Amino acid sequence: MDKNDQPLTISLSGTKKIKFTVASALLSQLGERLVGAPHIALAELVKNAYDADATRVIIRMMPDRIEVVDDGHGMDFDEFRDFWMRVGTPHKETKRVSPALKRPMTGSKGVGRLAVQFLASRIEIHTVSKKDPNSELQAFVNWEDAIQAGDLIEAEALFKSVDAQASFPENKPHGTAIILANLKQAWTPQETKKLAQEIWWLQPPFRSNPNVKTDEQKNFQVILESADEVATREFDAQMRAAHNNWYARIVGRLLPKTGKSKEEKRIVKLAVDFHGDSEPITYEYSVPSETYLVPYCHVNSLEFEIRIFYLWGKQRAEISVSEARDYFKEFGGVHVYDAGFHLPYYGPDTDWLHIETDHSHRLAESKLLPKKLQEGVTRGLNFLPTQQRIFGVVNIDTSAEREAAKKSDNPNDYLNIDITRDRLVRNEAFADLCYIVRFALDYYAFQEARRKAKEREAQSPIETSERTFERLEEVLQEYQDDIPKDVYKEIRNQARAAQQVSARKDEAFGAQAGLLGALATAGISAIAYEHEVAKQFQFVEEIVEDIRKVRVSETAARHKLDDIAAKLTEWANRARATRAIFSPLMEEENREAKGRFKARVLIDQVRSQIAVLTGSISINTSEIDESWRLPEGRFTEWSAVFQNVFVNAFNAMLDSEIKMIAISSRAQGRSRAILVQDTGIGVDLETAKELFEPFIRKQKISRERRQLGLGGTGLGLTIIRMIAESRDCKVAFVEPDRGFSTAFSLSWSETK
């Protein structure tokens, strides 16, 4: 071994100790690199207030300073020393919920407080701990002095304890006020809007009842006070943006009685407003009705508003779809307010209107709407929105209901709070409440079904390319005298050349259309068949259970029965695994909603779906950049692409000793590519383009694969190319890395 290759060894004899030091300038670098923008830095202080169990935060923006004041639990000296003054403390990571309200912590790294030096060079802290509301801790940091201190451990903050004198929101005796002076940035209305984009999801959409702990946990209000009215307006609008991004709005009111008869039919006045329509759709229905037989309406007064949301695609006001989905998952559903107080039982986790129940049963017709409202509509109830796509408020007053009931023949049947204090008594009055609100939702569903049907009818037939070029020639001839002759000639020649290319493409597409249509029909049939298969699995399981219960005295017979039961169980397990291949088609949202899905997550899901086919084949996705997102498309489209790619790879590796697939991401400038490589028989790159043409297949597929229906039609790569091109992507076979025989590339360009 060469002496330069010898490992270095140091004798520890006679050595001395020296400690690492950290330059205090790191405070500045950490603050800037961790946040990067003023609105993110200020949002960190608001999130700290949320973690401190605050219910209200006031942000006061003035020309020379910013104040962030909350009514949280505050800090005593020990907490100030151990948490605020200690950089990188992991207490939010170890304690994942807040002390009193048990809110999930919004941070975990313990560096958010460094964001304040990114905003201002001086900071004052006034904090009163809930543990000792008579004592106030005041602290002051001059960031410029701290940064110039040399070592980080030499950076200082000044502090003292005084009698409590600071004021906090809601007149709470405890909380924290942070004052930022010598501001480093000017705050424009656009910056305040960005601030709201960072924190809007912390603030629930409904008013809270301070007497109910579960409501207090969610109650969190952020108020901006500024002399700049535009900034305040932008902030408030953005804080409400997600709630105002409704697709449709349902407003209803139970009209007052018109007479003294107890059996009088009460009328509900309803309006359904679709976003962008000039006029709402109005309707009136009665309680009781022909489909809901009760002696009379047991509810005296009621009004409601329900908003429907489409939580996919680009949202207005730059709201993140994923954040909006998480938000309505927590706060969605139809809520009930009793004289202004929110009843926490009614919300996303309580299906009190049986919305999810009817979804699970795939009901197509409404049990509440009269037949005349359902005529001409196919499967109208399929358009009933799920709990996590709606936010509704129903306003009642149980005290007023009790007084009204005293004048009736049944003074005990009215909207009344149960002794548990969190829900309504399930009596006739509650049944009337459910009927009134659910009728409105069913009415909306059928109106939405009609709208979708009209949209499909209104879509003009696709114009042939031949007719398109004919119209182009007509326009050219009309303006021939206004166009220079050489320019006119060039445009006409290019148009005719394009027409010829288009005609060839139309001819090729016509050759594909027959089989593609048959495959599409098979896919639709598979969706319908899948629901029946689920019932059959349960039936097989019952048979297995019955076989195991059969009592026989002969050992041979017992073994035979057990063997039959085991084989049936094995078949059912394998059949379930095979069904996973078609799982992307089963959910309507997967078939309809578009989005930019994370590449690695989606590919891992496809790998899981086709696990029944992989056997011992290794599929490695670790080399895909976790931050990458595929171009916008439907989940089913991208699933189809990668399922076809994987199946082709499986077939190519049937006779390979080493069976391995590796997926990686490659980037060059704005170009992005997902590379799928395998150890199969390989392809000839000179003729590889032919493989993307329909019905061309050069692999020999085994009988087993053909029996499974996997491969063999020669359309897999054609479908891949069609989907990819519709999403502005390119597909090709490229030179594989060493150790692989085939490399399939899906590439696109990022515009941002």
Sign of the torsion formed by the C-alpha atoms of 146, 148, 151 and 152? positive
Residue 644: what pLDDT? 85
Q: Which of 154, 220, 184, 162 is nearest to 64 (CA)?
A: 184
Does 330 lie in the same domain as 423?
Answer: yes
Does 418 lie in the same domain as 271?
Answer: yes
Q: Give the span between the Cα atoms of 576 and 572, in whole angstroms.
A: 6
Q: Tell me the average pLDDT across 243-257.
A: 88
Q: What percent of the chain has pLDDT over 70?
A: 72
Residues 574-577: contacts with CB under 8 Å, at least 24 apart? 574/612, 575/533, 575/537, 576/537, 577/611, 577/612
Residue 522: what pLDDT? 47
- 299 contacts 267 by C-beta, under 8 angstroms: no
Does 505 lie in the same domain as 441?
Answer: no
Does 410 lie in the same domain as 274?
Answer: yes
Q: Give the span between the Cα atoms of 651 and 701, in whole angstroms.
A: 7
| Tokens encoding 592 | 């309809």
Residue 515: what pLDDT? 45
Does 502 lie in the same domain as 398?
Answer: no
Point out the domain boundary residue: 579, 609, 642.
Answer: 579
Does 376 lie in the same domain as 290?
Answer: yes
Which contiguous run of DSSP H or E holds residue 176?
Answer: strand 175-183
Q: Give the span between the Cα atoms of 290 and 570, in whole angstroms.
A: 52
Q: Where are the alpha helices (DSSP H) in 185-317?
A: 189-199, 213-218, 229-239, 241-244
Q: Give the span between the Cα atoms of 393 and 434, in whole angstroms.
A: 13
Residue 127: what pLDDT? 95
For tokens 């307006």, name the residue. 233
pLDDT of 333 over the 50 cut: yes
Q: What is the pLDDT of residues 480-536, one digit of tens each?
A: 666 777 777 777 777 777 777 766 666 655 555 544 444 444 444 454 455 455 556
Task: Indicate which CATH number applies to the domain containing 84.
Answer: 3.30.565.10
Q: Tell me the average pLDDT across 269-274.
A: 94
Q: Which of 605, 617, 541 is nearest to 576 (CA)?
A: 541
Residue 104: what pLDDT? 73
Q: What is the pLDDT of residues 583-612, one digit of tens each?
A: 554 455 445 567 888 999 999 988 887 776
Does 615 lie in the same domain as 674?
Answer: yes
Q: Which residues pair with residue 732 across a beta bridge?
A: 745
Does 259 lie in the same domain as 383?
Answer: yes
Q: Tell me the average pLDDT across 238-262.
A: 83
Residue 450 buriedness (CB in 10 A; 0-12 / 13-18 / 19+): middle
pLDDT of 26 over the 80 cut: no
Point out the domain boundary residue: 579, 605, 638.
Answer: 579
Is 311 part of any domain?
A: yes
Residue 164: what pLDDT? 92
Is 587 part of any domain?
A: no
pLDDT band at 138 (very low <50, low <70, confident <90, very high): very high
Instruction: Indicate whether this model's pTM tops 0.75.
Output: no
Is 21 part of any domain?
A: no
Q: Tell me the average pLDDT across 84-107.
A: 67
Does 75 lie in the same domain as 107?
Answer: yes
Number of domains in the chain: 4
Q: Give the span between the Cα atoms of 166 and 176, in whole angstroms.
A: 9
Is 207 part of any domain?
A: yes
Does 150 lie in the same domain as 132?
Answer: yes
Is 1 part of any domain?
A: no
DSSP character for 407?
A: T
Is 5 part of any domain?
A: no
Does 153 lie in the same domain as 30?
Answer: yes
Amino acid at 573: N
Is 224 part of any domain?
A: yes
DSSP character for 584?
A: G
| Tokens encoding 627 | 């931050």
Contacts of 343 (CB under 8 A, 6+ apart): 209, 335, 336, 337, 417, 422, 423, 424
Point out the domain boundary residue: 579, 605, 621.
Answer: 579
Is 402 part of any domain?
A: yes
What domain range is 43 assigned to? Answer: 26-239
Does 718 lie in the same domain as 643?
Answer: yes
Amino acid at 557: A
